[in-house]
A and B are shown apart, each in its own frame.
Chain A
Amino acid sequence: MFRASGLTSLSIAGLLLAAASGCSDFQSSFAPSKRTLALIPEAQTGQQGAPGVTPLVDEKFGDPQHLKAWMKLPVEWGGKASSVSAFEAGDQPLIRLTVDEESPLPEKAGRLVFTSGTLAGKSFEITSWDSSAGTAILASAPETAPEAGDSCTVDAGSLLQSGRVLYMRHCSHCHGTAGDGNGPTAQYLYPKPRDYRHGVFKFTSTIDSSRATRDDLLRVLKYGIPGTYMPSFLLMKDEELHALVEYVRFLAMRGEYERKLVNELASDYSSKAVESRLQSESRGDVVKELQEFLGEEMAGIAESAGDELAETWTVSEAEESRVAPSVPRVEDTPESRQRGRDLYLGKALNCANCHGIDGAGNGPQTIAFEKNPETDELYGEAGLHDVWGNLNQPRNLQTGIFRGGRRPIDVFNRIYAGIKGSSMPAFKNTPHEDIWHVVNYVLSLQFESEPGAAGTAPAEAVASAADGSQN
């Protein structure tokens, strides 16, 4: 009848093996960007003493299992701030921290980082921690003794850790492990998930030269981006959202850092460049030149890249980076909307060029073929593209879906500061009153009875006491 033949046993073994292999520990990693991979291998890896792009990035950011917190960067690493009250040297160096009943120290702490004094910037592993007494026994002795009053952060890195765990659970399947917008589900999505690695986020409340603020990112997490696949994470706890925002900033900075390093090398040491150089030079010479550059200059470039990151991201949180309309919103009257429409169609703002005469996002720009400025080659399809190389057509304003938010200030921000990364420019020299007129017009577009009929506002007509006949 039925016999367990050799083939059957083999297939059983095969199935079990397959099941077991799928159940092994999965180690994720930050993949190098495409531009990094477009460099010659010697530029990617470098050598001992002359590290290339990949080791330089790993040195400052680590991998997802062993993250590195580069204290230069304006990221909240987490932990509780405290200060030293006493220090006992010896085999088991012990730090006594001031205990405050009002703000208790965390239950668990694995790491302590000094933020002032002679040891500022140094971190130490804690082998034994007593949160009620505030005593920490360090794994290694600090070279100078910390003094009473030195401030430190205990359980440092906890926010980054929880951010990483949450990110992998909730975000990485679309946004990818390194925030490259290319996770496993990304291939099914349009528009594509954000690739953080340019440091560019589209929907911000800051001026065009600034980065996104923490509030902007928090807003996106809380309310999602309607009209796209980015859902709302409103139901997550505040601490979780905070951790995610910091981790996303961490990933964005990591991506920018890698980009800056590659920018220094791309024009001379990319595979394509070296290929054309080989016509007149030998590969050995090129590599030698590269190694000299990596050994002598790269370290300095890396440090200044970190400084730039610190500056741009810190400045973006400041008040002066925020878009501040100088006048309150002009009242939403039919006249204002008509003026808005006139401005929309006029040559000064030229909105219709991209957004179409009736706001359907079908202006003449959308069928023009453009070149990718990075590669100087034509894009595959006609129309406008964003800095990530994706087709990014102007918004159809008739749908009433506003990805960056539907508040008047949101639409003002889009116009005044443009949409970073896309072809929507910053209209920062248009009088703010005019921008408000356009805002009023744009917000009324979805209710126009016919294109261009903005003047006949349906707002008054709707206050009818119609009975709820829905069906």
Chain B
Amino acid sequence: MKKFWAIFFWFWPLVALWLCAVAPANNWWFPSPPLSTLGHQIDGLFYLILIIVAVTFIGTQFALGYALWKGATKGSGDKAWFSHGSHKLEIIWTIVPAFILVFISLTQLDVLAEIRVISHFPKEARKAPAAEVMARQFEWRIRYARPGTELMNEPRPGDLYYVNEVHVPAVQPTMINLRTQDVQHAFFVPRLRVKQDAVPGLIIPVWFEIEQAGEYELLCAELCGWGHYKMKARIIAETPEQVQAYLSRLEQEQNEDGVADEQSSQ
């Protein structure tokens, strides 16, 4: 019976390791490669931590399994072994993890600064936000500045509005202002590794540089109600000229007075 439990506790960590190994091939991994400049750094940190943790995991599980096996295969007549603890061991396994954690926290400082500290944003991104993304249950309301002006925190006449679709320039550091109209949401673009909680009352600048033009899925990553699961939007990264053309089209549509020629529906 004891052997069974020893094998049981050997088995599952091995399964976990095997799953980890086959995961990328089966697409049970995050979308790769990350398509933003920050994304590479974030992924790098993730892999660093993964390796550290994996090594620790293997080590500790091995130790556990060894102890179990030894105990299981011991004869019943043998005497039990008592230990009064080992001061040396305690010191080792406090200092080493502490050192590792400090190392991790120091390594990630610069990436964190780039993500969170506005003075560390690329200058181009800091200049003016491309759009204000207002999260609300259960959609994303977008506000662009009137073409030719800069986006203000307060709505201005001529601002352009849309919903669930954001057009931003690709291959160019871009910043959006993240807000929420009601409860907490989170701006999460998996393929860009961008994730930021939207907190009621705050205007949070989020920047990213998308490396490839295309369509990206924007998801809500903070449980916000019954519709959280379907709170999706599209981020369309295109050339700056295409973005301007889109904004002009949007301006035209938003100023429709139902009289102009127009072959299509209103």
Q: Which residues of A contact B (CB under 8 A)?
A: 173, 185, 205, 215, 219, 223-224, 226, 229, 231-232, 234-235, 323-325, 327-329, 400, 406-409, 412-413, 436, 443-444, 446-447, 457-459, 462-468, 470-471
Contact = CB atoms under 8 A, between A and B. Distances in A.
Given A229-B137, A468-B129, A328 B157 contact: no
Q: Interface size for chain B: under 10, 10 to 19, 20 to 34, or 35 or more residues?
A: 35 or more
A462 B254 contact: no
B177 A459 contact: no
A329 B127 CA distance: 35
Contact of B150 (A229, A329, A408, A468): A468
B260 interface: yes
A171 to B, nearest CB: 12
A215 B258 CA distance: 14
6 contacts: A173-B226, A234-B234, A324-B258, A436-B257, A462-B146, A470-B177
Contacts of A463: 148-149
Interface of B: 118, 126-129, 137-139, 141, 146, 148-153, 155-158, 161, 163-165, 177, 203, 205, 226-227, 232-234, 253-260, 265-266
B266 A409 contact: yes
B220 to A, nearest CB: 12
Contacts of B138: 231
A232 B158 contact: no
B257 A205 contact: no
B69 to A, nearest CB: 30
Given A226-B163, A462-B149, A468-B126, 17 more contacts: A173-B226, A215-B266, A224-B139, A224-B163, A226-B141, A229-B137, A234-B164, A235-B234, A406-B161, A407-B253, A409-B257, A436-B257, A447-B157, A462-B152, A468-B129, A470-B177, A470-B203
A462 B158 contact: yes
**10 closest Cβ contacts across the A-B interface?**
A409-B258, A329-B257, A468-B128, A234-B164, A232-B163, A328-B259, A231-B139, A215-B265, A408-B257, A462-B156
B127 A468 contact: yes
Contacts of B158: 459, 462
Nearest to B161: A406
B257 A412 contact: yes
A149 B17 CA distance: 67
A247 B134 CA distance: 31
Contacts of B205: 470-471
Given A468-B128, A470-B203, A234 B165 contact: yes
A462 B157 contact: yes
Contacts of B118: 471
Given A229-B137, A471-B203, A409 B155 contact: no
A310 to B, nearest CB: 22
A235 B232 contact: yes
B107 to A, nearest CB: 27
Output the residue of B129, B150, B226 with the most chain A CB within 10 A: B150
Given A205-B266, A471-B118, A231 B155 contact: no
Nearest to A411: B257
B256 A407 contact: yes
Contacts of A468: 126-129, 150-151
A185 to B, nearest CB: 7
Contact of B163 (A234, A407, A447): A234
Given A468-B126, A468-B150, A328 B177 contact: no
Binding site of B, secondary structure by majority: helix, strand, loop or mixed?
loop
Contacts of B257: 325, 328-329, 407-409, 412, 436
A470 B145 CA distance: 14
A388 B150 CA distance: 43
A365 B162 CA distance: 33
Nearest to B218: A235
Given A325-B259, A329-B259, A444-B157, A407 B254 contact: yes
Contacts of B156: 447, 458, 462
A212 to B, nearest CB: 13
Contact of A470 (B137, B153, B258): B153
A216 B48 CA distance: 53
Contacts of B254: 406-407
B150 A327 contact: no
A276 B233 CA distance: 58
A417 to B, nearest CB: 12
B150 A466 contact: yes
Contacts of B232: 235
A324 B257 CA distance: 9
A466 B158 CA distance: 16
Contacts of B137: 229, 231
* Max chain B C-beta neighbours (<10 A), residue from A215, A224, A324: A224
B225 to A, nearest CB: 10
Contacts of A407: 253-257, 266
A329 B227 CA distance: 39
A327 B260 CA distance: 10
Nearest to B175: A468
Contacts of B177: 470
Contacts of A234: 163-165, 233-234
A323 B158 CA distance: 24
Contacts of A323: 258
A468 B174 CA distance: 13
A412 B155 contact: no
Contacts of A458: 156-157
A465 B253 contact: no
A207 B139 CA distance: 30
Contact of B258 (A325, A462, A464): A325
A409 B139 contact: no
Contact of A235 (B127, B164, B258): B164
Contacts of B226: 173, 185
Contacts of A408: 255-258
A412 B161 CA distance: 18
Contacts of B227: 231
A323 B258 CA distance: 8
B233 A235 contact: yes
Nearest to B118: A471
A328 B149 contact: no
B234 A465 contact: no
A242 B137 CA distance: 24
Contacts of A324: 258-259
Contacts of B127: 467-468
B115 to A, nearest CB: 15
A439 B156 CA distance: 17
